[in-house]
């Protein structure tokens, strides 16, 4: 059921809230595709970032005071730092980052598997963030995690992408300059564990003299979380699986962040692969049993010493009856800037969107492209699916062609994922308007439109079935096209958003509202 929440953009219906209002929460705590989350605590605040692949702006920054209610508050990356990302490159770009606080600054180390390891820093998570610098050019180095030890030395941990490096199931540590500007040697491979296929995503902690490397194994849909520990940063390391699916419905519970609270409690934020809905974020309680140096994650339901995910739990950080927060989704376009939930499909030109020309409306400037290959259009303005089932509605209020030649413009709403997409649009060509439907199987149907305003409604069901409907008067909606099942894309969930195609001209959209 949707609920109302306040935001700087007004009161909107949010399709999912984890906070139950009584000091407990339900999982997932974020029902959207914030893949490969990493989080830290600084004082009484918690900060999170996630993979962003080719989407821009990238490296989302989320804030919470209780690990349950999260707000999207900034991005750390304006553009993907390589000229090839002016085009969409599915599955490439910014992979699993690490967020850390050191020497009074916030740091994000992030991999681009075809280019290398990059770094950005800021005095505060809200910015300003530095332009990214290339720490190390490399192909196939992924999931970097910096670690500054008590003796002043700095280290970089990372894994490998088999698709690029030709090896996997390995964690490497390399000495690094404390300013994160250069590596100081080859380092050593500290873990090679074929028994944990696709070992990756290392996150490093030091507790009571032990070095812990927390890493997911077993692959995204079906894997588990492993803890490795050693008295020396370069090993040898011993291991224990600390979280697995077990008898629960939470597949592949792994890869994320171990975070402590001011009161000394511990929690584990991790993702679950939910197919078309993306990698959604769960929160597990963590305990350190007396006399044991292994963490207990979740709940050990079968007594085998390995935790399993919990569907809900109490959290002492929650304030019963406190404000409910969730990453933004709906946008009434009342701000002079795009809402933070919006991302372009690749590197972008800020001039593609205009919120000042007609206050309360979004103007998209038409860019060249084909309705047959929207999946490769960098000028798609998209956002994540915000729940397991929802409806989103918007209105294409007008299309304005550019004189004197007045080339045609096609604009509308698109759902995209896994190389497939479907859209409902209005095409205008020198005064004539057509309703355009492009289905997931590639079929394009055009027929004369009954008006110049097009109301579009998209309903997403819990099995990822997509249904479109439309109206020219905003009151009577008719089904359009055939239902289809959307899919996940290259390491990410499906997305929904807006577009305008053409060699000139623009389209104006009304509020984009979820329920």
Q: Is 48 left (phi over 0), alpha (psi -120 to 50) or beta?
A: beta
Q: How many other C-beta atoms lie within 10 A of the C-beta of residue 355? A: 18
Query: Phi and psi dihedrals of 123, rounded to 5?
Result: -75, -20
Whole-number Å distance between alpha carbons of 100 and 30:
21
Q: How far is CA 93 from the centre of its chain?
A: 13
Cis peptide before 404 (omega within 30 of 0): yes
Is the separation of the CB atoms in 374 and 44 below 8 Å? Answer: no
- Looking only at the bridges linking them, the beta strands covering 432-438 and 353-354 are unpaired
Whole-number Å distance between alpha carbons of 361 and 336:
10
Query: Phi and psi dihedrals of 164, rounded to 5?
Result: -110, -40
Is the separation of the CB atoms in 428 and 409 below 8 Å? Answer: yes
Q: How many other C-beta atoms lie within 10 A of the C-beta of residue 7? A: 16
Q: Tell me the β-bridge partners of 143.
A: none
DSSP 299: B
DSSP 129: P
Is the separation of the CB atoms in 281 and 30 below 8 Å? Answer: yes
- Looking only at the bridges linking them, the beta strands covering 98-102 and 105-112 are antiparallel
Query: Phi and psi dihedrals of 135, rounded to 5?
Result: -70, -45
Whole-number Å distance between alpha carbons of 281 and 263:
23
The SS3 of residue 195 is coil
List all residues 6 or more positions away from 289 whose beta carbon is below 8 Å from its beta carbon.
Answer: 296
Whole-number Å distance between alpha carbons of 120 and 102:
13
List Cα–Cα distances, 195 to 173, 285, 304, in angstroms: 20, 26, 18
Whole-number Å distance between alpha carbons of 16 and 27:
10
Query: Residue written as tokens 């990698």?
Result: 279
Residues known to be catalytic: 36, 200
């Amino acid at each position: 059921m949707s609920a109302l929440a306040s935001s700087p953009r007004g009161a909107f219906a949010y399709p999912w809230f984890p906070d139950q209002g009584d000091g407990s929460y339900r999982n997932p705590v974020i029902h959207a595709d914030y893949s490969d989350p990493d989080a830290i605590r600084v004082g009484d605040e918690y900060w999170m970032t996630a993979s962003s692949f080719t989407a821009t702006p990238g490296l989302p920054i989320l804030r919470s005071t209780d690990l349950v209610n999260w707000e999207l508050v900034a991005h750390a990356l304006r553009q993907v730092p390589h000229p090839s990302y002016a085009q969409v490159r599915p599955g490439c770009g910014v992979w699993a980052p690490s967020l850390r606080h050191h020497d009074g600054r916030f740091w994000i180390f992030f991999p681009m598997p075809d280019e290398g390891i990059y770094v950005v820093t800021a005095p505060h998570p809200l910015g300003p963030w530095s332009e990214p610098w290339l720490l190390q050019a490399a192909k196939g180095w992924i999931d970097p995690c910096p670690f500054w030890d008590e003796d002043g030395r700095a280290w970089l941990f990372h894994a490998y992408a088999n698709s690029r490096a030709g090896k996997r199931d390995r964690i490497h540590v390399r000495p690094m300059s404390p300013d994160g500007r250069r590596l100081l040697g080859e380092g050593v491979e500290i873990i090679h564990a074929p028994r944990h296929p696709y070992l990756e995503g290392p996150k490093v902690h030091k507790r009571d003299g032990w070095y812990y490397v927390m890493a997911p194994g077993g692959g995204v849909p079906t894997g588990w979380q492993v803890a490795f520990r050693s008295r020396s940063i370069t090993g040898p390391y011993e291991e224990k699986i600390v979280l697995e699916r077990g008898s629960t419905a939470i597949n592949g519970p792994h890869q994320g962040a171990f975070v402590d609270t001011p009161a000394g409690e511990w929690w584990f934020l991790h993702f679950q692969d939910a197919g078309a809905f993306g990698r959604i974020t769960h929160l597990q309680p963590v305990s350190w049993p007396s006399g044991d140096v292994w963490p207990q994650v979740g709940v050990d339901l079968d007594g085998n010493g390995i935790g399993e995910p919990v569907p809900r739990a109490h959290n002492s950080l929650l304030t019963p009856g406190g404000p409910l927060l969730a990453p933004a989704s709906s946008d009434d376009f009342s701000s002079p800037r795009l809402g933070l939930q919006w991302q372009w499909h690749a590197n972008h030109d800020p001039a593609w969107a205009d919120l000042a020309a007609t206050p309360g409306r979004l103007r998209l400037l038409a860019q060249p492209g084909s309705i047959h290959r929207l999946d490769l259009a960098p000028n798609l303005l998209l956002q994540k699916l915000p729940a397991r089932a929802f409806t989103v509605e918007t209105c294409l209020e007008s299309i304005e062609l550019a004189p004197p030649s007045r080339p045609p413009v096609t604009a509308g709403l698109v759902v995209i994922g896994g190389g497939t997409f479907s859209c409902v649009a209005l095409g205008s060509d020198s005064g004539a308007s057509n309703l355009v439907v492009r289905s997931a199987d590639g079929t394009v149907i055009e027929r004369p439109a009954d008006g110049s305003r097009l109301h579009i409604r998209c309903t997403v069901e819990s099995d990822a079935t997509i249904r479109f409907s439309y109206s020219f008067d905003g009151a009577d909606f008719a089904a359009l096209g055939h239902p289809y099942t959307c899919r996940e894309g290259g390491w990410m969930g499906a997305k929904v958003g807006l577009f305008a195609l053409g060699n000139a001209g623009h389209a104006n959209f009304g509020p984009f509202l979820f329920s």
